[in-house]
Amino acid sequence: MKGTPESRRNVEALAARCEARVRAVILVGFMGAGKTSVGRALGGRLGWRFHDLDDRVRAREGRTVADIFRESGETEFRRVEHAALRELLGETEVGTPIVLALGGGAFLEAENFSLLAGETIPTVYLDADAEELWRRCGADPIERPLRRDEQTFYELYRARRPGYLRAQIRVETGDREIEQIVNEIVDRLGLESPGKEM
């Protein structure tokens, strides 16, 4: 995908704001979009650290995301998630840059979106059609609290997609190898090999 004129303007505007090197790339998208798999591969390609926001939440709380939802509710989960995001963004100030995969709802929370909008960190929306995402999630052993029945899944996807489209760039992941997706992200963000700057 070559990107729309609007997405190209978004990336150009972001590049103009980046006086220092890019210190992070944020991956967003619906459950099953490949944020963790692509994030690990992108981190490896760039020589950057990879972090999954849900993993940071689990480490902070000593509970799985599903347990937090069950025991404390979504509101508490979102509070902890925001604190973990702030913590990770703080860590980008020093050391090796990071690739950060957000949970499916994190980018859509107003507090998180405002926090990210104030940063010079590119956001990448990994997209695929709802039917493929449903299949991927069904094959994944991870318990997803918001993956209930198929109809509810599709409705949630449709409700969330406009929010994901606020990311600087959109990358299609349907029927594509991880390496192809990583290559597109690196190319479209103008990222170089380890040690080089944007």
Confidence category of residue 140, pLDDT binned at 50, 70, 90: low
Distance CA 75, CA 150 (A): 24
107 and 170 Cβ atoms separated by less than 8 Å: no
Banded pLDDT at 53 (limits 50, 70, 90): very high
- Of 98, 93, 103, 3, which Cα lies nearest the Cα of 42? 98
Q: What is the dihedral of CA 169, 173, 179, 183, to 10 degrees?
A: -20
Average pLDDT value for residue range 84-89: 94
- 19: confidence class by pLDDT, cuts 50, 70, 90: very low
- Would the pLDDT of 14 be above 70? no
The pTM assigned to this predicted structure is 0.82
Give the residue-averaged pLDDT of 131-156: 73
- As a whole number, the mean pLDDT across the chain is 84
What does the buried/exposed string (b/e) look like for 163-173 if buried means 16 or more CB atoms within 10 Å of the residue's CB?
Answer: bbeebbbbbeb
Residues in the chain: 198
Q: Return the structure tokens found at 79.
A: 């509070």
Compare 4 and 126 and report the one with higher pLDDT: 126
Q: Do 128 and 38 meet the contact criterion of CB atoms below 8 Å apart?
A: no
Provide the percentage of residues in the chain whose pLDDT is more than 70: 80
Confidence band for 167, pLDDT divided at 50, 70 and 90: very high
User: Where residue 129 falls among pLDDT bands split at 50, 70, 90?
Assistant: very high
Residue 117: what are its φ and ψ, rounded to 5°?
Answer: -65, -25
pLDDT range class, residue 100, cuts 50, 70, 90: very high
CATH hierarchy code of domain 5-15+22-186: 3.40.50.300
Backbone angles phi, psi at 57, to 5 degrees: -60, -45
pLDDT at 144: 53
Confidence of residue 66 (pLDDT cuts 50, 70, 90): confident
Q: What is the dihedral of CA 81, 34, 1, 125, to 10 degrees?
A: -10
- Model confidence at 80, pLDDT cuts 50, 70, 90, reads very high
